[in-house]
Amino acid sequence: MFDSRVSGILLHPTSLPSPFGIGDLGTGAYDFVDFLANSDQQIWQILPLGPTGFGNSPYLCYSALAGNPLLISPEKLFEDELLTTEDLASLPEYLDYKVDYDLVIATKIPLLKKASDRFHTQATAKQLDAFHDFCNHHDDWLDDYALFMALKEHHQGKSWNQWDKDIAFRKPEALVNWAAKLQDAILFHKFMQYEFFRQWQNLKEYANEKGIKIFGDIPIYVAHDSADVWANPDIFCLDAKTGAAALMAGVPPDYFSATGQLWGNPVYNWKELEKTDFQWWIRRVEAILEYVDIIRIDHFRGFESYWAVPEGETTAMKGKWIKAPGDAFFTLLKKDLGELPIVAEDLGIITPEVEALRDKFEFPGMKILHFAFDSDRANPFLPFNYVNRNCIVYTGTHDNNTTLGWFYERSPEDQAKVTDYLGCLCPEGIHWGLIRLAMGSVANAAIFPLQDILGYGGDTKMNTPSTVEGNWEWRYRGDVLSEGLSGHFKYLTYLYGRKPV
């Protein structure tokens, strides 16, 4: 997958600087790409791009294929004359270091509605053709998604299985009637997807021209309250009467949680998927490749065996492992789409069977340095134990603390385990010590959360697993990406053989 040693930064677009309360696809995104290019980086890793629901988690989206409308740049809409100076004149003063999602939604969605109305009354024939081409190209998911979102708004945000029964269970007559009744709202949601896709493609093209690949993320599961589950109930394990998740996804007790993680997503009905030659999943991968250059499959082990928790449980402790047909799926995926740039998120409880599935298809795995210092010398996350180069090393991921936060929450004895390994406390700071350690490893790719490049503490971490409040909110100020920081990062990239050829 990687022809040479590479490195990059992990940063979700919501964390970008922007005058509109949340990172978006405007100037801040292009400035970040410039920082990557000026620092000789070749990878921009992001989290899932979908429209988020309760808790604002990009791993619980209303659609596996749609984009998050909150990432649409009003600045770009203004440049395209879809918003006016007057439209942007009375916006509130947003925080520049975190996202206030409620405030952003309350002010940004009305702006997008104005842009949509203006587009449909003022667009040229060429622009309307482009919009209709987009809708036709994506009609296999866009029609269901737009109707789903319109229905959800009509039902005051209730989950789909709490709607009127006929539409909840997709009776044909109800679908026709509701589509006619909500046609204006449906058109608005289609416009937002068109505009998101257009802005994202322009940004991706800009990054690719500068030698930067977009490294995206596919969560293995989709949210129960999503267009995917509502439109495709047969491929999920649902209660036939209520539509609730009959078997819920999660993981047993692990590093992150003593009671495991109960995600609440319905697990797949793999037997039904297999009957269709995994059509839904193959289309999902095909569609995500329109957004990104490389795919990380989150919770890869679920393709070999998955943890299934019965309906009604409040923790993940009483689940069981069930075999999944990952070998058959990836064989068909390769047959249909060819060799794919897939990375396996192989953290947590990994068995020889999971490793065999990963290695059969030559998918790179992940190594996390924060996990390397709490056992013996056989710890697989210590760099001298990396058995091959086909992996990606991180200081930490979006589910970890920042390196500074992680280090200073350790006891003095546990801090010494890290500094003894490094040989000293790096004068640049422990974050640069671990960055150097990753850069110098044999791993083909080394990727770092931007918080570690900036040397930020635990108050800037992106997510604390198994919690709902205070996640996905961190943003950085545009002025922190200085030339000096770029130059230092560029030098280390050269020093450890990761500079682009």
Instruction: Find tokens 């009375």 and name the residue.
Output: 90
Identify any residues that bridge with 214 across adjacent strands, giving them in sequence order. Answer: 44
What are the b/e assignments for 424-435, b being 16+ CB within 10 Å? eebeeebbbbbb
Amino acid at 357: L
DSSP string covering 389-406: S-EEEES--TTSPPHHHH
Q: Is 164 a catalytic residue?
A: no
Out of 40, 345, 452, 473, the active site residue is 345
Out of 40, 144, 298, 304, the active site residue is 298
Q: Is 304 a catalytic residue?
A: no
From 6, 96, 11, 1, select the one nearest 46 (Cα to Cα): 11
Instruction: Spell out the SS3 assignment of 317-382.
Output: CCCEEEECCHHHHHHHHHHHHCCCCEEECCCCCCCHHHHHHHHHCCCCEEEEHHHCCCCCCCCCCC
Instruction: Spell out the SS3 assignment of 174-205.
Output: HHHHHHHHCHHHHHHHHHHHHHHHHHHHHHHH
* Whole-number Cα distances in Å, 218 to 49, 212, 359: 9, 19, 19
Q: Is 184 a catalytic residue?
A: no
Out of 228, 304, 399, 473, the active site residue is 399
Residue 18 CA to residue 198 CA, distance in Å, equals: 19
Give the residue numbers marked as catalytic. Answer: 298, 345, 399
